Amino acid sequence: MDEHNQKPELYDLLPLTLQGLPLKRRRFLKTSALAGLGALSGTFWAMPANAGEGKKDDRKFIAEAAYYEKLQHKQVRCKLCPRHCVIDDRERGYCGVRENRNGTYYTLVYSRPCTYHVDPIEKKPLFHFLPATLAFSIATAGCNLNCKFCQNWQISQVTPEQVPSIYLPPDGVAEAAKKYHCPSIAYTYNEPTIFFEYMRDTARAGHEQGVKSVVISAAYIEQEPIRELAEEVDAIKVDLKAFSDTYYKDIVRGELKPVLDALVSIKKSGVWNEIVYLVVPTLNDSDQEIKGLVKWINQNLGPDVPIHFTRFYPQYLLKNLPPTPVSTLERCKAIADAEGLHYVYIGNVPGHPAESTYCPHCGKKIITRNGFVVSDIFIVNGRCKFCGTPIPGVWKE
């Protein structure tokens, strides 16, 4: 899952130990948005998984899938995402992590993260959810989409056998989040829909220990599972890839309508929701498409759902295009502002004024951001400190 389509840059991190596992010094991709992070040095860690765990016996990594139906001749039909894969015995679905074994469908990545990091919540990005806090982020192998610009294709476009992983059950994730002072767990980097059962159970375990859960998803998921998920988690950030069926078919290998349907269901559930729109030059940045997008959001979700117009950087299979001009992002924001959306952000442009949050009533800056660094928060009891206007979101008590 493309979390931020960030400009890659290497960054040194320090060693840690998690539940007795040695966490060696490593380097990982740091975005240009980390400019100025020095003030928070020592709090952002990348923790590589142990390649030696679970190689000989995968039984602890499997669990029966939650959404499927049994067919004749030991076939099954997956009902988790709109693909509705029909899978023969000993075969897998499109995502590569769910397998039919003798007519019973299993997830192969239950409790099997291949990466886990401690990130600022702003990296997700979630701007109206516990700002300036940390999220314990986990991901497994696999995805039910194939975005040509995917930042994390090394894990999203492979099977569980092709990447190192560890055994980390739901209660272990919750304990790790508390140990590293993370008030939330984030399911991110690949598409968490494909490890639905692990995510759901981890969210429950987190709540038992006072830890919230946030989902970073493309929302290519069926209605029943998204409704169940919305009951278990505290926020869902949706990567809305475009407002065009053609783009979804050619660039994402999916469909637009199920994503829009999922957004409507999320809205109805009442769980906190934000939207990211990665603006790709010449492919999804026309005035017509942006106008259609923001009008749809206003009419179906309301003006208070934050939308992040995020800068594209060429990677994976889409390297023939340049980074998004900042002027294009500003044009998208102007269109959304004109439509009446209250919280319109520009992402992946560190230091841009549109990274910060402004009160829609008095216009004053109420959260100051530079990249992932938050320097000021003027929200008291969920209201603008200056004029008292309610600011939607999930805020610290």
Looking at the domain assignment, is residue 2 inside a domain?
no
Instruction: Give pLDDT, residue 60.
Output: 73
Looking at the domain assignment, is residue 393 inside a domain?
no
Instruction: Give pLDDT, residue 396.
Output: 87
Instruction: Give pLDDT, residue 58.
Output: 64
3-state helix, strand, coil split of the chain in percent (to 5) is: 30, 25, 45
What residue type is 89 in one-letter code?
D
CATH number at residue 291: 3.20.20.70
Instruction: Give pLDDT, residue 43.
Output: 26
Task: Please report which confidence band the pLDDT of residue 61 belongs to, taking 50, 70 and 90 as the band edges.
Answer: confident
Neighbours of 296 (CB within 10 A): 15
In this structure, are 150 and 269 located in the same domain?
A: yes
- For the chain, what percent of residues have pLDDT higher than 90? 84
Residues 5 and 315 sit within 8 Å (Cβ to Cβ): yes
In this structure, are 93 and 213 located in the same domain?
A: no
Instruction: Give pLDDT, residue 142.
Output: 98
In this structure, are 28 and 47 located in the same domain?
A: yes
Looking at the domain assignment, is residue 5 inside a domain?
no
Q: What does the pLDDT look like over 174-189, one tens digit per residue?
A: 999 999 999 999 999 9
In this structure, are 98 and 206 located in the same domain?
A: no
Looking at the domain assignment, is residue 14 inside a domain?
yes
Inform me whether the pLDDT recorded for 52 exceeds 80: no
Average pLDDT over residues 9-17: 28
Average pLDDT over residues 72-93: 98
In this structure, are 75 and 183 located in the same domain?
A: no
Give the number of domains in the chain: 2
In this structure, are 136 and 180 located in the same domain?
A: yes
Structure tokens at 36: 């100025």
Greater model confidence, 23 or 367:
367
State how far the Cα of 13 lies from the Cα of 31, in Å rounded to an integer.
14
Instruction: Give pLDDT, residue 397.
Output: 62
- For the chain, what percent of residues have pLDDT higher than 70? 85
Q: Note the pTM of the prediction, 2 decimals.
A: 0.88
Inform me whether the pLDDT recorded for 37 exceeds 80: no
In this structure, are 76 and 200 located in the same domain?
A: no
Q: Bridge partners of 284? A: none
Greater model confidence, 332 or 32:
332
Residues 150 and 191 sit within 8 Å (Cβ to Cβ): no
150: left (phi over 0), alpha (psi -120 to 50) or beta: beta
Looking at the domain assignment, is residue 319 inside a domain?
yes
Looking at the domain assignment, is residue 394 inside a domain?
no
What rounded mean pLDDT belongs to the chain? 88
Give the domain range for residue 79.
63-107
How far CA 25 is from CA of 22, 51, 208, in Å, comes to: 10, 15, 32
State how far the Cα of 396 lies from the Cα of 386, in Å rounded to an integer.
18
Inform me whether the pLDDT recorded for 32 exceeds 70: no
In this structure, are 147 and 190 located in the same domain?
A: yes
Looking at the domain assignment, is residue 162 inside a domain?
yes
Looking at the domain assignment, is residue 389 inside a domain?
no
**Domain end call among 72, 107, 142:** 107
Average pLDDT over residues 189-203: 98
In this structure, are 161 and 239 located in the same domain?
A: yes
Inform me whether the pLDDT recorded for 220 exceeds 80: yes
Q: What does the pLDDT look like over 99-139, one tens digit per residue?
A: 999 999 999 999 999 999 999 999 999 999 999 999 999 99
In this structure, are 20 and 67 located in the same domain?
A: no
Greater model confidence, 269 or 40:
269
Inform me whether the pLDDT recorded for 21 exceeds 50: no
In this structure, are 159 and 103 located in the same domain?
A: no
